[in-house]
Structure 1
Amino acid sequence: MRATAVLCTSALALTACASTPGQPGGQATNQNDCAVIAAVAKGHYRFGPENVPPPLWLFSEDASWKPRCDWSRYGVSFPTTHDPNRQHQPGDRVQWVQFQKPVYDGRGATIEAGILHGPLAGMGVRCRVVSGFAGWTLAGQCENTWIS
């Protein structure tokens, strides 16, 4: 108990204190998830008024993960969403930006993301995000995980 109190005094350890006990990697609130996603959207993809993102796809194998985000709070906008279960019609553009459920540890969070610009034109990344006085921000460059 005393060690936990000491850990919780560190800004980077705040995410560990919010974790669900007994679960490896911890689970954070949806608001942390939203802030982590927004950090990658702005920091890595550079989405903004001049660079409007493709439809947003939030993905997790955990079916209960359904973050409800007020994107304007984080300075980013996703005007449309991607429905992976919707059948494509002829002429539909195949585009999306996908963010998977972040995984938290004592150093911040890691999140997998990907963007598809069209059939066989996209790439995936793994990004490290840290929490500090400026909120959640990228910790360096994201690592490529796939390219098509």
Structure 2
Amino acid sequence: MPRSSAVLIPLLLAGCAATAPLPDPAGPVMANGNDCAVIAAVAREHYKFDTADNLPPPLWLDDEGSGWAPRCDWSHYGLRFPAIHDPARTPASSQPLRWVQFRQPRYDGQGALIDSAIMHGPLAGNGIQCRVRSGFAGWTVSDCRVTWVN
């Protein structure tokens, strides 16, 4: 074997073995083109908003001050939200306090974690965190746990 090949092989193998660290699910959020699909998976599979008898409340995409604002074609995912909730605008006392909230998904080696919440009224709601995985059928919810109850 020529000497140049003997030098290159270990370098090439070292380059293949080096991998970038996976993002920490609790770490910073980064923009990702899958955000809409992850949100839609939770809306369909956990909340069952794709059924005719379970229409969703207004949608609130909570950016937590980061400027995250995905532009999603919800009809592409079989969803129809009646309105987008503006968290800066306080609802009038005659308006019911109803919304479903999604925060930006956090991606890791297992897929994505996403925090969500739903309010049915002033003292009726709960928060969840879901693990969503990517596969042959697209993004699917593997499990959700309740994080708070009101």
Decide whether aligned partners of structure 1 residues 4 and 129 sit closer, same or farther in structure 2, where only a CA change above 3 A counts. farther
2:46 matched residue in structure 1? 44
**Once the two structures are superposed, what CA deviation does each residue of 1:99-141 show, in whole Å capped at 9, x if it has no partner?**
011000011000000000001100000000000010000013x
- Structure 2 counterpart SS, 1:117: strand
2:10 aligned partner: none
| Counterpart for residue 53 of structure 1 | 56
CA contact (8 A) 1:25 1:104 kept: no
State the Cα distance separating 1:28 from its structure 2 match: 4.4
| Structure with max Cα Rg | 2
Distance 2:109 2:58 in 1: 32
Which segments of structure 1 move beyond 3 Å, counting only runs of 4 or more?
none
Per-residue deviation, 1:70:
0.6
Number of the residue aligned with 1:77: 80
Instruction: Kindly report which structure 2 residues correspond to 1:118-133, keeping only aligned pairs within 5 A, or say none.
Output: 118-133=121-136
Contact 1:111 1:126 survives alignment (8 Å): yes
Do the aligned partners of residues 76 and 90 (structure 1) sit closer, same or farther apart at CA in structure 2, a change above 3 Å counting? same
Q: What's the counterpart of residue 8 of structure 2?
A: none
- Asked if the contact 2:29/2:104 (under 8 Å) is kept, the reply is no
Helix, strand or coil at the partner of 1:109: strand
Identity %, equivalent residues: 53
Question: Hey, what does 2:98 align to over in structure 1?
Answer: 95
Does the aligned pair in 1 maintain the 2:60–2:100 contact within 8 Å? yes
Q: Is the 8 A contact 2:29 2:105 kept in 1?
A: no
Q: Unaligned stretches of 5+ in structure 2? A: 1-14
Q: Which of residues 4, 8, 16 is equivalent to 1:2? A: 16
Structure 1: distance between partners of 2:89 and 2:148: 24
Question: Which of 101, 104, 108 is the aligned partner of 1:105?
Answer: 108
Q: CA RMSD in A?
A: 2.0
Partner of 1:13: none
1:35 aligned to which of 34, 37, 55: 37
The amino acid across from 2:16 in the alignment is R
TM superposition score normalised by structure 1:
0.80
**Alignment length, in residue pairs?**
131
Paired letter, 1:100: R
Structure 1 spans left out of the alignment, 5+ residues = 8-15
